[in-house]
Amino acid sequence: MDLVIIRYNAGNIRSVQIALSRLGVRAEVTDDAERIRNADKVIFPGVGEASSAMRYLQSHGLDALIAGLTQPVLGICLGLQLMCAFTEEGNTECLKIFHSEVKRFPPEKKVPHMGWNSIYGLKGPLFNGIPEGAYVYFVHSFAAEPCREQIAAADYIHPFSAALQKHNFYALQFHPEKSGDTGEKILKNFLMTGNSHGEMR
């Protein structure tokens, strides 16, 4: 399988690459448009600040490229937020793959939401074999509002979207690469999603 991880100015890509290697899959980290367009599967990870990440994607032509991909794409953490319509972080217009808006957690409890929390309302192929209420590892201060593309929810201060899917685009707010056996199973499920371009449209 030809798997690529999109390189941009958001850190922590290394743990995703190592997690994939634990599953026996080599992933190339690249910002080359042709490589990304032709890969079987694409992972769009990231930890960082949304407005500077969006500016970087735009200045490198990666914004239109990502939104136009037809193979399975998996956004992780900031990746999910950038795939939404808009984020309050830096009041940033995002890729608009999902309808959801991303908002900062109100300061009623500690922010970031950091640690293991349970996910529920699980739908679709990413969560095959994952029980309702499974625990996964989160670290984030902004969260996507529940929307029709939601395939998993979690609660912290209020309910939010822990995972989204639209056609070939999948996204996780938590870190599957750090979520123990549950996270490994979700990554494996993504690796098993249909390969043929546009199959789910």
Partner 1 sequence: MLTKRIIPCLDIRDGETVKGVRFTGIRRAGDPVGLARSYARAGADELVFLDITATVEKRNTFAELVQKIAHNINIPFTVGGGIRSEEDVARLLDAGADKISINSAAVRDPAVIDRLAGRFGSQCVVLAVDCKRHGDRSFVYLDGGRTQTERETLPWVREAEARGAGEILLTSMDHDGTKDGFALEITRKVSGSLNIPVIASGGAGRPEHFLEVFREGKADAALAASVFHFAEIGITQLKQYLHENAIPVRMT
By annotation, the residues acting in catalysis are: 77, 175, 177
Q: How far apart are CA 103 and CA 105, in angstroms?
A: 6
As beta bridge partners, residue 33 has: none
Q: How far apart are CA 43 and CA 59, in angstroms?
A: 20
Residue number with CB closer to partner 1 (69 or 136): 136
Closest CA to 121 of 84, 154, 169, 87: 154
Q: With binding defined as CB under 8 A, does residue 106 bind partner 1?
A: no
- 74 to 103, contacts with partner 1 by CB under 8 A? none
Residue number with CB closer to partner 1 (70 or 117): 117
Q: How far apart are CA 144 and CA 154, in angstroms?
A: 11
Q: For partner 1, which stretch binds (CB under 8 A), given 57-65, 96-104, 135-143, 190-198? A: 135-143
Q: With binding defined as CB under 8 A, does residue 29 bind partner 1?
A: no
x-marked contacts with partner 1 along 181-200 as a string, rule CB under 8 A: x-xx----------------
Residues 6+ apart with CB under 8 A from 17: 5, 27, 29
Number of residues that bind partner 1 (CB under 8 A): 33
Kindly report the length of the chain.
201
Sign of the CA dihedral with 183 first, then 7, 171, and 188 last: negative
Residue number with CB closer to partner 1 (30 or 70): 30
Alpha-carbon dihedral angle through residues 69, 165, 175, 103, given to the nearest 10 degrees: 100
Q: Which of 112, 129, 194, 198 binds partner 1 (CB under 8 A)?
A: 112
Cβ pair 85, 164 in contact under 8 A? no
- 41 to 80, contacts with partner 1 by CB under 8 A? 47-48
Q: With binding defined as CB under 8 A, does residue 111 bind partner 1?
A: yes
Q: With binding defined as CB under 8 A, does residue 156 bind partner 1?
A: yes
What is the nearest approach in angstroms of partner 1 to the Cβ of residue 150?
19
Q: Which of 22, 104, 123, 197 binds partner 1 (CB under 8 A)?
A: 22
* Alpha-helical segments (H) within the chain: 13-22, 33-38, 50-59, 62-67, 78-83, 180-192
Q: Where does this chain bind partner 1 (CB under 8 A)?
A: 11-12, 14-15, 18-19, 21-22, 47-48, 107, 110-118, 135, 137, 139, 155-156, 175, 177-181, 183-184
